Amino acid sequence: MVIILLSVLILVRCSTGNQFTEDAEIQKNITSAVNNYNSDNWETRLESVKSISKYSNTVYAKNTLLLVLKALDDSHSEVRIEVLKILKKMKAPAAEERIGSIALADENSNVRFFAFSALEEYGNIVNEDIFINGLDDADWLVKEAALKGLMKINDPEIQIKYIDIILNAINDRNISIKLTAISNLKIKDPLIYEELARIINDKESGLSVLKAALEQIKGYKLDSITKKRIIELLTHRDKKVRILSLQALKQEELNLNL
């Protein structure tokens, strides 16, 4: 018994010692990054920020926060983008308001895109107006990120409130915006069903859009024309289309039997 207890004690001491060593090394890395960020060379500052990115979703994230917040105002867009990538994982409350300002006002469209992408992760209803304003951005990538952020807000009423915006996005000429709108649907609505059915019945619909529509139409009661079309799609050349079509038909059958 004495030997066993002694062995356990040695293991605990070794483990604790390793933890202290690891902590000290990490703190050293973070301190070094902070010092390097004071450089006048933007590439050095970028490497400084990159060096702390591995801590963004760990217990050490709080130790890097001051540097992250400072770097949000960096003069170089590449540095700001790298910081926004970190904040997308970190979701630091202290940075949320600043990210929203960057999303709307940064002169660089790539920075605005990454700002909206980071803000999306918060899922916060307070950012509703920021996402709405982002839909007017001239850059379609930024517009797409704003739409996705709006649709992923953690509020069950948000998509109902903005159903007109979602319907317009489903009909957007840009396929990425169209797909973002369809793929992020969380609600069922007769108007949305009409758009999904239209896509499925249109033999000119692109494959990616068709798949997205088939995925989202599951759970709806199918009208006779759309049901006939989905039955036809059971022999489609694309395996995923065949599977989604079968799932849609089975789900409708299941709903009818409830």
Mean pLDDT of 96-120: 98
Task: With H, G, I as helix, E, B as strand and everything else as coil, classify residue 110.
Answer: helix
> Do 195 and 90 share a structural domain?
no
> Which residue range forms the structural domain that includes residue 92?
41-160
Check residue 16 and give its pLDDT: 43
pLDDT digits (tens, 9 = 90+) for 23-34: 888 888 899 989
For the domain that residue 92 is a member of, what is the CATH number? 1.25.10.10
Residues 71, 120: Cα–Cα separation, whole Å: 20
Is-contact 50 84, C-beta < 8 A?
A: no
| Residue 145 vs residues 7, 92, 137, 153, 248: alpha-carbon distances, Å | 55, 19, 10, 13, 29
> Do 155 and 224 share a structural domain?
no
pLDDT digits (tens, 9 = 90+) for 60-81: 888 999 999 999 999 999 999 9
Query: Is residue 182 domain-resident?
Result: no
Three-class SS of 121-168:
CCCCHHHHHHHHHHCCCCCHHHHHHHHHHHHCCCCCCHHHHCHHHHHH
> Do 233 and 142 share a structural domain?
no
> Do 104 and 145 share a structural domain?
yes
pLDDT digits (tens, 9 = 90+) for 211-245: 999 999 999 999 999 999 999 999 999 999 999 99
Check residue 228 and give its pLDDT: 98
Check residue 226 and give its pLDDT: 98
Query: Is residue 25 domain-resident?
Result: no
Is-contact 194 225, C-beta < 8 A?
A: no
Query: Is residue 1 domain-resident?
Result: no
What percent of the chain is modeled with pLDDT above 70? Answer: 91
Check residue 25 and give its pLDDT: 87
The domain tally of the chain equals 2
Average pLDDT, the chain: 91
> Do 155 and 46 share a structural domain?
yes
Neighbours of 229 (CB within 10 A): 17
- pLDDT confidence of 10, banded at 50, 70, 90? very low
Mean pLDDT of 24-49: 92
Statement: residue 19 has pLDDT above 60: no
> Do 155 and 52 share a structural domain?
yes
The C-alpha angle 209, 152, 158, rounded to 5 degrees, equals 105
Check residue 21 and give its pLDDT: 59
Instruction: Look at residues 241, 245, 218, 220 and name the one whose alpha carbon lies nearest to residue 231.
Output: 245
257 phi/psi in degrees, rounded to 5: -90, -5
Mean pLDDT of 86-106: 96
Query: Is residue 2 domain-resident?
Result: no
What percent of the chain is modeled with pLDDT above 90? Answer: 82
Query: Is residue 218 domain-resident?
Result: yes
| Residue 172 vs residues 62, 122, 166, 182: alpha-carbon distances, Å | 41, 26, 10, 11
- pLDDT confidence of 112, banded at 50, 70, 90? very high
Neighbours of 104 (CB within 10 A): 18
